[in-house]
Amino acid sequence: MTVSTSRPRILVSNDDGYFSEGLQTLVEAVSPLGEVWVVAPDREQSAASHAISLHRPLRIKEVRERWFSVDGTPTDCSYLAVNHLLKDNRPQLMVSGINHGANLADDIMYSGTVAAAMEAAFLGIPAIAFSLVTRGPFDFGPAGRFARALVTEALTRPLPPRMLLNVNIPGGVEPDGYVITRQGRHSYGSNVVEKEDPRGRTWWWIGAAGPEMDAGPGTDFHAVRFGHISITPIHVDLTRYQALEQVAGWVGGLAASMEAKS
């Protein structure tokens, strides 16, 4: 058996852009642990979700050594990094963030930060998404220190395949340890702002998420509210396994009613 002495490759991306402070913090945090490659959007891509650019060409720009910007989505960045830039020597771990803001509960569905990590997980690379839970000021210090500790662990003992960790670090406090959590739930709002532009045309702006709905003990919301770092294991399989039998029964009833009508 040959033991590799080379440093592990770590891929870093985000949805706030290749220049953002949260990404810089994450790069500094993991640099002592391996050979870091940054492949990140060339502009703000927050709430891009898992969009992939199939209908237009993409440009990759090397902004400095092993640091690339892409004029695409967070998913595009992970895809191009793993399948093109690093295809001859795939990264051992992918980290996304540190996002400027929370990715709790239903935020996961809309998040570009989580999508970049999820795409890496799709492609077989263990991945972790990091987010700082605040609307500002953004002090990334504690989040960076925790990222370094968690990544050290993930490089030593690889995560199980086809899943990722969604990590939220409370902002504005020194975090009180970490908790393994499940996704909470927002009530997603009805908030639409309607105004008129300078040319007399109406515009609409979708407002912020609704209030917390499922935020009890065990949820990501609950952990960060009490000052703990929240770690939620998530996966890419959206099947509702608990409902398989119920839906089979329901579909059986549907078939019977269609027969009765014919």
Would you say 25 or 46 has its CB closer to Mn ion? 46
As beta bridge partners, residue 182 has 219
As beta bridge partners, residue 114 has none
Helix (H) or strand (E) holding 10: strand 9-13
75 counts as binding Mn ion under rule CB under 5 A:
no
25 counts as binding Mn ion under rule CB under 5 A:
no
For Mn ion, the nearest residue by Cβ is 46
Window contacting Mn ion (CB under 5 A); options: 98-106, 153-161, 184-192, 247-255:
98-106
Parallel/antiparallel/unpaired status of strands 127-133 and 163-170: parallel
16 counts as binding Mn ion under rule CB under 5 A:
yes
Would you say 9 or 18 has its CB closer to Mn ion? 18
15 counts as binding Mn ion under rule CB under 5 A:
yes
The Cβ of residue 152 has, within 10 Å, a number of other Cβ atoms equal to 15
The minimum distance between CB 206 and Mn ion, in angstroms, equals: 16
The minimum distance between CB 261 and Mn ion, in angstroms, equals: 51
107 counts as binding Mn ion under rule CB under 5 A:
no
Compute and round to an integer the Cα radius of gyration of the chain.
Answer: 21
Helices (H), 60-215: 74-80, 107-110, 112-122, 141-156
Provide the 3-class DSSP secondary structure of residue 54.
Answer: coil
Out of 49, 96, 99, 219, name the contact with Mn ion by CB under 5 A: 99
Binding site for Mn ion (CB under 5 A): 15-16, 46, 99
